[in-house]
Amino acid sequence: MRWDHLWTHGWCCNTNMASEIEHIDLANSNQKLIDHLIHENSFHDWLTTVAFYKAIHVVEAVFANNSNYHSHSHADREEKLKRTARYKAIFTNYSHLLTESRTVRYLLNPRSRLTIETVKSLLIYKRLFAVEQNSLQFLSDRAKKSLVKIQPPPNLANQAVPQ
Amino acid sequence: MTTAIGFPELSNIVEIDWYDENDKIIVTPRNQLRFTIQKDRAIEALRIVRDSERFTLQFELLLGKLARWVKERASDIQTAIITLQDNSLMFVVVQSDDCYDEQLQDDLAELDFAIAQDTDLDLMRLRTVMLPPVDSDALGSFVDARMVLQYQHGK
């Protein structure tokens, strides 16, 4: 599986830090799985988790392009986002994905908390969409063009992007 | 330059200049058990003491800030705890309601960001987490038993 291969060999092991474009490629791999799970209309917990990992790669692409910085942990990434004033909107929206992915991964029986419909409307089409939209200004032209972006359905397409 | 420092009180200012390389400092404490220390190590030790005092002050400031935040949202919060995680402080907020509270998460992110940007709290490393209502076993996996400070509503 290409996603797994790139994750373990290109980023996680620190042997060869991923570039901005490599992070965008990883984000796009996650987007394929998001599309598949949305199509299946099930596995809301996995949809939440994959959305969070797509956000991670979008944020890491931002860091790679702006400061050649690579996070070594979730805490490291949060710290970098919070200490940089211009990343406030990214951090706020990212925090929703972080919180809910942690809930579905570490707490028993979280299924009653969010339905597949609320995961789609709240986490994918609102918060992940906002992470992407607020990140675009910090990406290179090539990365902006390469990133496969969330496409909200028509009834949500005109909502304001949360700042 | 060789400088003698009497502990614990200093009656006047003793300057220790980092640029005087290879100097050692002779310290004569109150019990007269005199010892010598490399100057660089003495400077580092003094810096740690100063930062420790600053840390205590900042920690108290942070606790007050978090307590006010919880108090303003008392009806939405079942409990709130300060604990440790991965060499950081962790602020765990447990919701009262089972439904995902989007506004509370927005507020928590706002607080988290403001603390990180606050120059008066520059020594604080804080992470935040919002949880649904959980039992004590589940909460235990987010809490480090070495430090658990739990907010009591109204206090």
**Which pair of tokens denotes residue B121?**
């709290």
d(CA B155, CA B145): 22
B88 in Cβ contact with B126 (< 8 Å): yes
| Percent over 90 (pLDDT), chain B | 54
Q: For residue B91, what is the DSSP state?
A: E
In this complex, do A99 and B105 lie within 8 Å of one another by their Cβ atoms?
yes
* pLDDT band at A96; cut points 50, 70, 90: very high
Task: Report which listed range, A38-52, B1-15, B38-52, is most confident.
Answer: A38-52
Comparing A25-34, A51-60, B17-26, the range with the smallest average pLDDT is B17-26
B/e letters for B32-51, b = 16+ CB within 10 Å, e = fewer, are eeeeeeebeebeeeeeeeee
Q: CB pairs below 8 Å between A and B: how many?
A: 55
Q: How many CA within 13 A on the CB side of residue B126?
A: 29
Q: Quick one: which of A47, A5, A108 has its CA closest to B141?
A: A108
Edge-to-edge strand ranges of the sheet holding B3-6:
B3-6, B24-28, B35-38
Res B11: pLDDT: 60
Q: Quick one: which of A55, A58, A76, A73 has its CA closest to A20?
A: A58
In this complex, do B102 and A75 lie within 8 Å of one another by their Cβ atoms?
no
Minimal CA separation from A99 to chain B, in Å? 6
Helix axes B102-117, B39-72, angle to 10 degrees: 150
Taking CA atoms, what residue in A is nearest to B92?
A99
Model-level pTM?
Answer: 0.82
In this complex, do B138 and A82 lie within 8 Å of one another by their Cβ atoms?
no
pLDDT of A65 > 90? The answer is yes
pLDDT of A9 > 90? The answer is no
Choose from A45, A87, A107 for mutation: most chain B CBs within 10 A. Answer: A107
Residues of A in contact with B98 (CB under 8 A): 112-113
Contacts of B30 (CB under 8 A, 6+ apart): B6, B7, B8
In this complex, do B109 and A95 lie within 8 Å of one another by their Cβ atoms?
yes
- Peptide bond before B8: cis, by omega within 30 degrees of 0? yes
Q: Give residue-wise pLDDT tens across range A70-80.
A: 999 999 999 99
Residues of A in contact with B134 (CB under 8 A): 107
Q: What are phi and psi of B134, to 5 degrees?
A: -135, 155
* Residue range B127-155: mean pLDDT, rounded: 88
Length of chain B, please? 155
pLDDT of B62 > 90? The answer is yes
Res A13: pLDDT: 43
A106 at the B interface (CB within 8 A)? yes
Comparing A10-24, A145-159, B106-120, the range with the smallest average pLDDT is A10-24
Q: Give residue-wise pLDDT tens across range B81-137.
A: 999 998 899 999 999 998 899 999 999 999 999 999 999 999 999 999 999 999 888
Residues of A in contact with B112 (CB under 8 A): 82, 91, 95
